[in-house]
Amino acid sequence: MSLIDKLRAELVDIVEWVDDSNHTLVWRFPRYHNQIKYGAQLIVRPGQSAVLVSQGRVADVFEPGQYTLETKNLPIISTLLGWKYGFDSPFKAEVYFVSTRQITDLKWGTPNPVMMRDPDFGPVRVRAFGSYTLRAEDPRTLLSELVGTDHEFEADEVSELLRSAINMAFADVVASSGIAVMDLATHYAELSETLRASVLARIDDEFGLDIPQLYIVNISLPAEVEKAVDARSGMGIVGDMSRFQAYQIGQAIPDAATNPAGGIAGAGLGLGMGMAMAGPMMHGPGAAQPLSANAPPAVPVAPAASWHIAEGGQALGPLTVDQLAQAKTAGRLHPGTLVWTTGMAGWTQAGQVPQLAQLFQAGPPPIPPTD
């Protein structure tokens, strides 16, 4: 630095910091060789504190206001009076400005899942993320523990340390909360305050920092657990599973009837769906009332034979004889079609089965003409 620069520095007698950044915690006032002129004016604005360091020790901390630096504890420095020292006064002083306002929009999140024990699902892994604000609470401690001789100290320089402290505290808080996974969302405010108090206890006295606000924005579950929760919620919404199943069957019948590819398989499906619907409907509001004790019992009816036919290399059925007659009319059942029913040793051509012979009998001969 030239002689003119040194002399110009001596004429500067206002020590202040106009902060135009959003994440600066501590800023040291630049002064040539740390020489502060006797009687200089120190201006501390709202949201700031000023720390005067003299001869390597914290001399005083100034709150917002205007001060004249002329006490006995301050070095009486004027290089214009220090010619014999070569414009290098032996008395040194430094002024550090500390931002005491809140630094917002700081993010945190769990880099790895946190294990917790849920009363419904057992051990599960959860992730969380959120935001927090940071403020300097004790300038002396902050200066001695973190800043040191750094010319400018940013919030980013301590954010990694704070995120680690938050993640460690979050694991303890969520594990000891005893709150079920499905109820965590309704306790975000409570968990956030507990987490903030736990983190503050770790950094307040040690680093001189305060976390005025800390928020849990979201706690997420693994994808497979979320699917299980969705499935359980769906079952609760459905309610009566038998009535819901009967409703689904009723909705599917028109689609099955209009499906041109249904064929015999569609007929069997319709029969099966009708049987499935019969059970719930018999217990519905419009179900037939049971027979009285004096009424005679119903005449037992022998069950109709159930037939299976081979079509396209697959077995279709069970089918009744009437359904087989419909299949013959549609051209899908021939005397050479393989069929099987209970009691048969194996698959046999339909034309060789006595029970089905009537399906392939020729029609009556023509009526002879009358005279």
Q: How many whole angstroms separate alpha carbon 243 and alpha carbon 238?
A: 9
CATH 3.30.479.30 fits 103-221, yes or no: yes
Nearest residue to 36 via CA among 58, 12, 5, 6: 12
Q: Give pLDDT, residue 88.
A: 42
Indicate if 307-356 has the same CATH topology as 103-221.
Answer: no
Q: Which tokens sit at 286?
A: 């419009």
Residue owning tokens 């697959």: 314
Distance CA 182, CA 180 (A): 5
Domain ranges of the chain: 3-99, 103-221, 229-259, 307-356
Q: What is the pLDDT of residue 18?
A: 86
Q: What does the block give as tokens for 343?
A: 């009691």
pLDDT computed for residue 150 by the predictor: 81
Strands 348-349 and 338-341: antiparallel
- Residue 212, strand partner residues: none
pLDDT score for 132? 93
pLDDT in the model for residue 307: 85
What is the DSSP annotation of 268-284? HHHHHHHHHHHHHHHTS
Phi, psi of 284 (to 5 degrees): -80, 180
Please, are residues 212 and 250 in contact by the beta-carbon 8 Å criterion?
no
The answer to whether the CB of 66 falls within 8 A of the CB of 98 is no
From residue 232, how far is each of 116, 227, 228, 240, 247 by CA, in Å?
Answer: 20, 9, 6, 14, 20
pLDDT given for residue 149 in this prediction: 75
Say if residues 44 and 100 touch (Cβ distance below 8 Å).
Answer: no
pLDDT of residue 284: 52
Q: What is the mean pLDDT of each run of 10 residues along the chain (371 residues)?
A: 52 76 85 68 90 80 85 41 40 81 89 83 86 89 83 86 90 86 87 91 82 91 73 62 63 60 50 51 51 59 71 82 83 86 86 83 69 58
* pTM assigned to the model: 0.53
Q: Which fold has domain 307-356?
A: Dna Ligase; domain 1 (3.30.1490)
Residue 197's pLDDT is 92
